Amino acid sequence: MTAAFPLRRNVAGLRDGEFDLLVVGGGIYGAWTACDAALRGLRVALVEKVDWGAGTSSASSKLIHGGLRYLEHFEFGLVRHALAERRVLSRIAPHLVRPLNFLVPVWRNARVGRMQLLAGLTLYDFLATGKQPVPRFKSYSRSKLLGAHPYLDGDGLRGGLRYGDCQEDDARMTLFVVAAAQAAGAVCANRVEATALLEQDGRVVGARLRDAETGASFELRAGCVVNAAGPWARALVGAGAPGVKLVKGIHLVLPAVVGCEEAFLLTAPQDGRVFFVIPWYGRTLLGTTEAEVRDPADAVVTPDETHYLLQATQALLPGLRWSAGDVIGGFAGVRTLQPENGASLSAVSREFAVLEPKPRLLWPVGGKYTTARCDAAELVDQVLQRLGRTPVPCQTSRRPLPGAPMEAAGLGEFTGWQAEAMSALLRRGIDEEAARFLTLRHGTGLPRLHVLLDQNPAWAARLHPEAPFLVAEAVLAVREEMARDADDVLRRRMPLSLLVRDTAAARRQVEQLLRDDA
């Protein structure tokens, strides 16, 4: 079996191979579909026109969660489904999916009162069957909440509740699922675009591909094609593509809330919409908004959206004193949902569905990052059916992702492994913050970094003094993680460009690494 790392951009394998399935799109849905199908014995090709997770899958809220707010719209099945996946993902990827507590303050005359929240969180915990990676919800008095978080608005504050969900690095996790697909036998390549579908006898039989690095085009034939290109999928299908709704969400990046390791779920006073304040890599993510767009190119952060989020935060957490000058950056992503005329964007269903606009062309819509693995399993079931193959059970729920400590079946076990791994990094002169994030980003793949640090101890330095990423990680990204340019390294292999304003020096260093490795 092929190793997960190093990741190899195998364009030659695409040209020369015979495939049962071509997956177009290297986001989380395409990655899980390729991984699942390869594990079930199919010959799989996975192509991405830019980079792994370059679209919506690197622009999420960075959460693995049940979606507490969906209970308000009575989507109990979706929430149960997502909570079951939270348990699975925390088990197969304990280095990538980590517990995170959320606080929900309750003010007088709130749209959702304390009793409603108690009922909702009771149901949330009830729907989370089986052993979960997070504690059950807990209530807090006004005084205890203000004592721990004095920046909250104390006027009319009645107290609050705490519940648990999980957090991840979305781009990093997508990369590891691609690596798992490669290990299962899938042929993978980024910078390869599907420019047109191939059709024969009334069904899709592959696609014409273009290698962006050489400009060469070639045909790849496959028994079935999955169009997992998200908001870009319509372009490949063409004029006959069914209607979908494109919904944009944005997040702002702000400084850390000093001393706070918990997230907040809040309700914007302007219109009652839910938004998050989330600690992430020593910064804070603030979002999200929702707006319908016509084209994924419209996924930009607007001044009005920035003002809306800051205004809501200033009203509820006035002690933080955040203003536009504190915004480090922002990002936007677009989700593809089923059309529901007349429904508000927050009420549009996130339920997963598989469309088939042409025979043997499957198009996943809806869903969410958390449920991508099990949604992909449903998709692969349909692929097997179209190919006339004997049904084979999905294996991804039992296969640890690359880097997962095999013995880490729970929080305590992972914590023990992490402590030992951090000690080894500290002995190499790496600071504690960077060491902790290294364990969460690489897991048992850390020896690959040890080799580089032995080769050049200077690579133990931070790539940027304000972010916990090492020069060695950039070297590893270029040599073993299929990074092809500076954005691949600084935005997706590590989110440095999201966390600091000035990345010019880091970019020059990465560009030199790319030239040296060419």
Residue 346 has pLDDT above 60, yes or no: no
Q: Cα(141)–Cα(355) distance, rounded to whole angstroms?
A: 49
In sequence order, which residues have a C-beta less than 8 Å from that of residue 57 and are 6 or more positions away? 27, 28, 29, 170, 171, 174, 230, 333, 369
370 token code pair: 């958390």
Task: Judge contact between 39 and 395, C-beta under 8 A.
Answer: yes
Comparing 31 with 2, the larger pLDDT belongs to 31
Comparing 407 with 516, the larger pLDDT belongs to 516
**Strand, helix or coil at 181?**
helix
Element containing residue 91 per DSSP (H, E):
helix 76-92
Which residues face 187 on adjacent strands? Answer: 45
Residue 149 has pLDDT above 70, yes or no: yes
Which residues face 225 on adjacent strands? Answer: 22, 361
Query: What confidence tens digit (pLDDT) does each residue in 291-309 have?
Result: 999 999 999 999 999 999 9
Model confidence at 2, in pLDDT bands (50, 70, 90)?
confident
pLDDT on residue 426: 95
Query: What confidence tens digit (pLDDT) does each residue in 244-280 have?
Result: 999 999 999 999 999 999 999 999 999 999 999 999 9
Average pLDDT over residues 159-186: 98
Query: What confidence tens digit (pLDDT) does each residue in 52-65 have?
Result: 999 999 999 999 99
Model confidence at 76, in pLDDT bands (50, 70, 90)?
confident
Q: Cα(58)–Cα(89) distance, rounded to whole angstroms?
A: 18
**Strand, helix or coil at 411?**
helix
Domains of the chain as residue ranges with CATH: 11-57+171-242+349-387 (3.50.50.60), 245-337 (3.30.9.10), 411-517 (no CATH)
**Strand, helix or coil at 340?**
coil
Element containing residue 208 per DSSP (H, E):
strand 203-211
Residue 224 has pLDDT above 80, yes or no: yes
Which residues face 48 on adjacent strands? Answer: 190
pLDDT on residue 73: 74
Which of these, 284, 278, 267, 251, lies nearest to 120 by C-alpha position?
267
pLDDT on residue 222: 98
Average pLDDT over residues 69-86: 88
Residue 449 has pLDDT above 70, yes or no: yes
Residue 462 has pLDDT above 70, yes or no: yes
Average pLDDT over residues 485-489: 98
User: Can you give 44-90 as a three-state secondary structure string?
Assistant: EEEEECCCCCCCHHHCCCCEECCCHHHHHHCCHHHHHHHHHHHHHHH
pLDDT on residue 475: 98
Task: Judge contact between 58 and 170, C-beta under 8 A.
Answer: yes
Model confidence at 163, in pLDDT bands (50, 70, 90)?
very high
Burial classification of residue 154, based on how many CB atoms lie within 10 Å of its CB (0-12 exposed, 13-18 middle, 19 or more buried): middle
Look at the chain and count its residues.
518
**Strand, helix or coil at 302?**
coil
Query: What confidence tens digit (pLDDT) does each residue in 368-410 have?
Result: 999 999 999 999 999 999 999 999 999 999 999 999 997 554 5
Amino acid at 496: L
Average pLDDT over residues 207-220: 98
How many other C-beta atoms can be found within 10 angstroms of the C-beta atom of residue 245?
Answer: 18
Element containing residue 365 per DSSP (H, E):
strand 361-365
Q: Cα(327)–Cα(325) distance, rounded to whole angstroms?
A: 6
Average pLDDT over residues 456-484: 97
| DSSP state, residue 150 | T
Establish whether the linkage from the previous residue to 267 is cis, with ω within 30° of 0. Answer: no
Q: Cα(17)–Cα(477) distance, rounded to whole angstroms?
A: 27
Residue 345 has pLDDT above 90, yes or no: no
Average pLDDT over residues 480-508: 98
Establish whether the linkage from the previous residue to 242 is cis, with ω within 30° of 0. Answer: no
Handedness of CA 510, 511, 516, 518 (dihedral sign): positive
Which of these, 33, 31, 331, lies nearest to 190 by C-alpha position?
31
